[in-house]
Structure formats: C-alpha cells, structure tokens
Amino acid sequence: MKKAVIVCHRGACLVAPENTLASLEKAIDMAADVVELDVRPSRDGVLFVMHDATVERTTNGAGRVSEMMSSEIDQLDAGAWFGGEFKGERVPRLETFLDACRGRIGTYVEIKEGDPAEIRDMLALRGMLSDAWTFSFDQSIRAETRAKVPDFRRMVLFAHVGSVERAVAQDAHILEFHQDDLDEALLAEARDAGLVTQMFYAGKDRAVFEKAVRCGVEQMNIDHVDIFRDVENELFAAA
C-alpha cells in the first residue's frame, strides 16, 4: 500500500473560511499535497475563487458573482461569517490565489464558470500546469477544456462516465469515485488503464476511510484530513 495524496476540499474548510487565502494557508500548514478551489468570473471578467453562484453564504454581501464588478467583490468580507478571527478575509482573485500556491502546493481547479484556456494559461505562466488538474460539473465546460486545452489534465466522475473504458475514451487523466461507487476491482481496472484514482468524501466515517485505503485510492479529496490520516496510519502500521 502507498499513502494517498491529500487534496483539501476548498482548502482547510473546517478550520478556516472556504476558498480563502486563510484556508489555503491552513491546508499548507497541515501538509496537504493539493488544494481544491472553485472558480467563477465577475461581471467584468475577473476570475475569483468562489464556490456559490451568489455571495450571500460566504460573505457579507448579496448578489450573483457574474453580475458584480470585480471592485465590488474585492470589498467583501469573506471571513467574518466563519469566525471573528477571520474578519476582513477577502474573496481572492484567482491570480492572487495561484501566486500563493506556487511552489508550495498543487492545485485542483473546479471551474464553475469561466474560460478553461484562460485558467490553463494562468497556471502555465506560473509553471504550475504539471501539478494541476481541472473538472467541471458543466458538460459544455468539460467539452471545451478537452477541445481547447488538451494539456490541462482533466478529471471525470465515475458517476458521469459509468465505466473505466469511457473515462479512457474521453482522454481523462483522473477518475473520481464517491462512497456509493467505490469498488476495489474498478479501482484496480482504472489504475491498470493508466488513470489516477481519486475519491471525494465530505464525511468523517472511519469505515469509509478504511475502505478507501484498502481499495488503494491514490488521491483523497476530503474535509476531515486528520481522521483520514489516523485511519491510514493505523492500517499501515498493522500491515
């Protein structure tokens, strides 16, 4: 067995406000290998690190990201909702976030909205493309990424493609499984086909983590990093 690559979902989102520089720094502090981030453009085309289409849940503002000017988004407080010590934390521009990642942590960019070629070029400019990959729930963005920037590594969900064969046919690099489709034989098939296996799990059930380790999942996109590492260490010590 080999220890899994740790991907911090929206940064260290349990100890700092998600998708902020604070959550990035906490992820780096806990020795995560990769940070997962979400990207959307403002009305004037500036890319921001933000999960929701609207800003209400994670800032002190209101409105849709796509209808706000970048200067408006720059003024939002993205930390106070999480805790007083994070008051004044900003919604980071993607360029600022990538600059903070460079040479310190890999990046998994989920494109909620935006031009994949622009994002690819921002990573390439910083020498970060080889340690990055992307995904989108938007089928048109997935197709655009494959067509326009084939050197931008792409992830697909097993829930979308339904088989390892179809993931390979779509020129995917990473195949992500979830709790309900995690299967040791499928993971072995994926690895044999040259795909990197990943699991997304936002929960903290130790039994789920144990199954992931025993199945040999190569990358874990998770919130509860400490619990996963405890389970992983216990299983490795017993092996």
Q: Which of 9, 160, 173, 224 is catalytic?
A: 9
Chain centre to alpha carbon of residue 215: 21
Known active-site residue 173: no
Q: The tokens 């600059």 sit on which residue?
A: 99
Torsion angle of C-alpha atoms 9, 212, 182, 167, degrees rounded to 10: 60
Strand (E) positions, 173-235? 174-177, 196-201, 219-222
Tokens of 183: 């299967």
Contact between residue 65 and residue 54 where contact means Cβ atoms under 8 Å apart: yes
For residue 106, the cross-strand partners are 34
77 vs 170: CA distance, rounded Å: 40
Chain centre to alpha carbon of residue 33: 11
Tokens of 51: 């999960």
Query: Rounded to 5 degrees, what are φ and ψ at 230?
Result: -60, -45
Known active-site residue 178: no
Other CB atoms within 10 Å distance of the CB of residue 171? 11
For the annotated catalytic residues, the residue numbers are 9, 51
